[in-house]
Structure 1
Amino acid sequence: MKIIEWHEKFSVGIKEIDDQHKDLIEILDALYYAMLKAKGSELVETTLEKVLQYTKTHFATEELLFKKYSYPEEKAHKAEHDAMLKKVMAFQRDFTNGELIGVDLMQFLNSWFVEHLQTTDYRYVEFFKKKGISTLP
């Protein structure tokens, strides 16, 4: 059972970003599985770190595109990215301090991923389509 299934409705029309979104779904599923099956705090901690690092890489990719093509909502979009990273780092800190974060973390990541993708990310889809961008430069 996966926490998030990839659907074409998630596509932003830029192959590399879609591929990163798919990879992130796989990492989120690995985290969900590790927590669900109580695979041990070390695996959960490692996988949570992987979520954080991959998310930073993905956000950097999007933000580079925004800057390169002068995306008008760049600052607002980046602010959402920063807020998400701050929240995940808080979950990571809480986990390290022995707090139970499983349900809250997975609910946050699941809802954030889907909502951010279908609202904030979709706002740049039309912008990049008009510029003829379907692949990273």
Structure 2
Amino acid sequence: MGLLHWEKRYSVGIAAVDHEHRELIELINRLYDEATSRGSKDAVLDFFGDLFKAISAHFALEERFMRERGYNQLIQHKNDHERLLDEIRDIMEDFEAGAGVNEQLLAQRLDAWFSRHFETHDARLHKALGAHPE
């Protein structure tokens, strides 16, 4: 079924960026499926690591784009990226500590994660500067 589903409110209006965001949602859904299917703890932690790397790479690309274009909201946007990465780390650490996956809490945290960031920071960035190169 999947944890997150693409919603129109996530769109920043730029096809390439929206595509990247859809790919991140797919990765999160695959992680969720793995974590809730009684897969091995090591496999789930490996998947968390892969997801974290993919999100970090996406953020690094955005931040480079913002620096190159002289985006005046770079610090605020980068700070939100750090907050989002901290949130993913917290979820990973909770899982590793044996808390398992609280499906409802994970859904709430990740939905808030996407909706707040996509609707505010990413929408403002891409409205001001357009698409970043892939």
Letter in 1 for 2:133: L
CA–CA distance in 1 between the matches of 2:132 and 2:90? 33
Q: How does 1:81-100 map to 2 (within 5 A)?
A: 81-100=81-100
Q: What does 1:34-45 align with in structure 2 at a 5 Å threshold? A: 34-45=34-45
Residue identity (%): 27
Comparing 50-59 with 6-15, greater Cα deviation is found at: 6-15
* Structure 1 unaligned blocks of 5 or more: none
Output one character per residue of 1:73-127: Cα deviation in whole Å (capped at 9) or x when no partner: 1100100101111222222223222223433334312220122111221111220
Distance 2:87 2:6 in 1: 23
Contact 1:17 1:62 in 2 (8 A): no
Runs of at least 4 residues off by over 4 Å: none
Deviation of 1:4 after TM superposition, in Å, equals: 1.9
CA distance in 2, matches of 1:110, 1:48: 17
Deviation at 1:63, TM superposition (A): 0.4
Q: Which fold has the larger relative contact order, with Cα–Cα distance below 8 Å and residues 6 or more apart in sequence?
A: 2
State the shift of 1:56 in Å: 0.2
User: TM-score, normalised to structure 2's length?
Assistant: 0.84
Q: Which runs of 5 or more structure 2 residues have no equivalent in the other structure?
A: none
Query: Residue deviations 1:22-52, cap 9 Å, x none?
Result: 2111100101111222222122212111111
In structure 2, C-alpha distance between the alignment counterparts of 1:110 and 1:84, rounded to whole Å: 12
Following superposition of structure 1 onto structure 2, how do residues 1-137 of structure 1 map, counting pairs within 5 Å? 1-103=1-103, 104-128=105-129, 133-136=130-133
Change (3 A) 1:106 1:5: closer
Q: What is the TM-score normalised by the length of structure 1?
A: 0.83
Specify the code of the residue in structure 2 equivalent to 1:136.
P
CA RMSD of aligned residues (A): 2.1
Question: How far apart in 2 are the matches of 1:124 and 1:94?
Answer: 32
Distance 1:92 1:134, change over 3 A: closer
Separation in structure 2 between the aligned mates of residue 68 and residue 54 of structure 1, nearest angstrom? 21
Deviates more, 1:101-110 or 1:111-120: 101-110
Greater shift after overlay, 1-10 or 33-42? 1-10
